[in-house]
């Protein structure tokens, strides 16, 4: 049985937990991808994503980036990259890393074909790499079927949405 003084304390604690959970869910991250397909660099603009809300990049193998997202037609060689950010399970937020769920699809022979569906751990401000290459081959941007580098940056609530540029140093 709860004492009359315990009920307000439990209510306040519950409200605080709800506020903290909501604040965590509103965190935003800048995801800066660099993508090569079959040795060809692709135009991949930075994305701003919230926790568990995917960002989508659509491009073409000719290096052009289609950010309109309302393009209906797809052509062979087109690609789409879906990115979803998930903070590490760290209640104290000591880890400055993110799990990034990645899905890359290529348009081939009239249909979208998934070539990558993976998760990548990315320490904030550092570069992490994911590649698809033949067995025994040392993956490089020039030799891998898919070569993806990602950098993440946590955005403060007051940070404006970037216009394709970030304050982070260029990737090596």
For tokens 């401000």, the residue is 125
Rounded to two decimals, the pTM is 0.69
Q: Is the pLDDT of residue 80 over 60?
A: yes
The per-residue pLDDT for range 108-120, each reduced to its tens digit, is 888 999 999 999 9
State the pLDDT confidence band at 127, using cuts at 50, 70 and 90: very high
How far lies 139's CA from each of 36, 43, 145, in Å?
A: 11, 20, 9
Radius of gyration of the chain (CA): 20
Residue 79 has which token pair? 């690609």
CA distance between the termini of the chain: 61
Q: Enumerate the domain spans of the chain.
A: 28-155
């Amino acid at each position: 049985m709860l004492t009359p003084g315990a009920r307000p304390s439990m209510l306040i604690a519950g409200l605080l937990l709800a506020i903290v959970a909501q604040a965590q869910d509103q965190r935003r991250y800048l995801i800066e991808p660099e993508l090569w397909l079959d040795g060809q660099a692709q135009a991949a603009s930075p994305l701003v994503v919230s926790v568990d809300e995917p960002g989508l990049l659509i491009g073409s193998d000719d290096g052009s980036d289609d950010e309109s997202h309302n393009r209906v037609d797809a052509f062979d060689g087109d690609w789409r990259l879906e990115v979803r950010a998930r903070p590490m399970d760290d209640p104290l937020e000591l880890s400055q890393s993110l799990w990034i769920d990645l899905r890359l699809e290529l348009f081939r022979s009239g249909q979208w074909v998934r070539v990558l569906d993976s998760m990548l751990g990315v320490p904030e401000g550092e570069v992490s790499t994911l590649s698809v290459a033949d067995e025994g081959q040392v993956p490089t941007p020039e030799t891998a079927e898919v070569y993806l580098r990602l950098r993440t940056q946590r955005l403060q609530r007051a940070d404006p949405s970037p216009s394709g540029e970030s304050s982070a140093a260029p990737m090596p």
